[in-house]
Amino acid sequence: MAHASFDGLRVLSLESRRAKEVAKLIKTYGGEPFVVPAMREIPLESNRHALEFADNLMQGRFDLVVFLTGVGVRALLEIVQTRYDREEFLQALRSVRVAARGPKPQAVLRELNVPIAVTAGEPNTWREMLQGLDDEFGASLSDFRVAVQEYGASNPEFLQALTERCSEVTKVPVYQWALPEDLQPLRECVLGIASGGVDVVLFMTAIQAIHLFQVAEQMNCQEELRSGLMAMVVVSIGPTTSEELKHYGITPDFEPSHPKMGFMVNEAAQYAGKLLEQKRSSEARSLTSRQAGLRVVQGKGEEQRAAAAAERVRRVAASTSTMAGFREGLTPIDFLHEISSRIAAADSFHVVLGRIVDFVTTVIPCDSCFIYVLEGEKLVLRASKNPHADLVDHLGVQIGQGVTGWVAEHREPVAIAANASEDPRFKAFKNLPEDRFEAMLCTPILCASKVVGVINLQHRLSYQHTTSEVRLLSTLGFLVGAEIERARLEGENVQLVGRLETRKAVDRAKGVLQRDLSISEDEAYRMMQRESRQRRKSMLEIAEAIQLGDDLKKGRTDGEQKLGSLTS
């Protein structure tokens, strides 16, 4: 099994949004991190295209809208709201066919209650998006008027393919990427790569590659940068980024099994050392041959095979046993420090759970992660790796029901390597696509020997969980149990304090009404209830308004009395 460790290799990331997270991951896996942001997000100088799109959409001039990013969906809505009614725009969007490229735009669209007709499968590139449109609409695409929300840089291949298939294609640029304001770190990065000061580089978007070579061009160092990259391990997040790198003559060494940061760093830690050694050995042999005046002779067919192999980008197989996660790259003390620092922030209940989901899915790469919290006799779904806005905080599982309920009842972990739905303890929920996944690992979350919840991991493909992974997830359950219980109790305390404050305010307001209107306590309370319903205000707001009115009246009376004493 591969050992997940960089073993001191110098690892460069050009990430901007999640710079701290990727630096921490690289360091956790034993690498020396260099994180140099290669881009910044800026709004377009003009929102004309977005506003024109909204106007045409509400007039029924589109048949299909394709969203490529979640940030783009939100930015578009913010722009549209400056001129048009939000609900009117969303209603128009709900009346046309909508396609979403990946999980992030899907999540935002679901929050807005916009039905999604087509989604792109992994690795969520324009090719999968196009295939999904072909599968769903077929020849009828030729009559479609299509709008495409762009994500910083146009994708000419996708737009060309749509133009060939559809009646009309409209670009809707919403935001764009710019170079960082301070270019000095990127310039030093170019020089570092060119001089061999970096061993591994992680490209997480195509824009990172574009901007890196753009700065190199300004420095007149394109060839030096290209040579440096060819002598190191280059990892690409997925096909779109790989295609962009190939435009500059760089074929990435591999793509991760899933286009996610955690998988990318994990698998780079596993394979980069060996790949770098192979590259350097090959380079040394080539140099020796050139120095000796030797020429390697290849047949034409052999040359073609070598060229084809160089063009292909290898991809790590999905759900392999070599996904070592943190278990091989993280010492016990590092592991304890990492999880304790995440839960020590004492944030709100859902923020704590979100942090736990992020950590668990980085520790053990998986396709789904649920956290259920025990409330009364039910386990309530409180956090999910995948977007389930309609189910989080609503889906409840009885103790003993399904695999999750069985784990809570027996306080034992369950690992199912394949055909999870055929397990006699399994129970399906109609709204959960994860029910169709093959493998599952489920462990209880304990606090003071009591079950307070359950962590549930799932894999799309068959997956043999190792003893180390089962023990690791069980240990996580022990570590986070107290924190979940603390956050839950703190939330209940906040609600309790709120109810107590409301009750005190209502009692004071009832006293004011009883005194001023000469009515009973029950009559005063019913009067406040009517006002609350009619004005759609909470009882606390009504009570505070009554109290404020009484305070103002008292102040006015006191002022009149003082004025009277002065004039008498």
Delimit the domains of the chain by residue range.
Answer: 10-39+179-292, 43-175, 330-568
User: 203: helix, coil or strand?
Assistant: strand
Each residue of 389-421: pLDDT tens digit? 778 888 888 888 889 899 988 888 898 888 888
Does the pTM surpass 0.75? The reply is no
pLDDT at 153: 64
Under 8 Å CB-to-CB from 186, ≥6 apart: which residues? 36, 38, 179, 180, 211, 212, 215
Going by C-alpha positions, the residue among 175, 244, 211 that lies closest to residue 14 is 211
Q: Omega into 105 within 30° of 0, i.e. cis?
A: no
Do the beta carbons of residue 89 and residue 53 sit within 8 Å?
no
pLDDT at 284: 58
pLDDT at 476: 76
What CATH architecture applies to the domain 43-175?
3-Layer(aba) Sandwich (3.40)
pLDDT at 10: 95
The whole-angstrom separation of Cα 55 and Cα 80 is 9
Please list the alpha-helical segments (H only) found in 463-538. 467-517, 521-535
Q: Please give the span between the terminal C-alpha atoms of the chain, in angstroms, as a whole number.
A: 98
Structure-block tokens of residue 303: 């040359």
Q: How many CB atoms lie within 10 A of CB 51?
A: 16
Q: Same CATH topology for 10-39+179-292 and 43-175?
A: yes
Q: What single letter denotes the amino acid at residue 276? A: L
pLDDT at 178: 82
The whole-angstrom separation of Cα 204 and Cα 357 is 22
3.40.50.10090, 3.40.190.10, 3.90.1580.10, 3.30.720.210: which CATH number matches 10-39+179-292? 3.40.50.10090
Structure-block tokens of residue 454: 């359950």
Q: How many CB atoms lie within 10 A of CB 534?
A: 8
Going by C-alpha positions, the residue among 392, 355, 347, 348 that lies closest to residue 373 is 392
Going from the first residue of the chain to its last (568 residues), give the mean pLDDT of each consecutive group of 10, the final group possibly shorter.
76 89 89 92 74 94 92 86 90 95 87 92 83 93 93 76 92 83 92 94 91 92 93 90 88 87 88 89 60 44 43 56 37 50 55 74 79 85 80 84 89 87 80 78 84 87 80 77 67 69 87 90 88 83 86 71 60
What CATH architecture applies to the domain 330-568?
2-Layer Sandwich (3.30)
pLDDT at 388: 75
Each residue of 163-209: pLDDT tens digit? 999 999 999 988 777 888 899 999 999 999 999 999 999 999 888 99
Calculated CA dihedral for residues 474, 480, 482, 487, nearest 10 degrees? -150
DSSP 251: -
Under 8 Å CB-to-CB from 236, ≥6 apart: which residues? 203, 242, 245, 252, 254, 255, 313
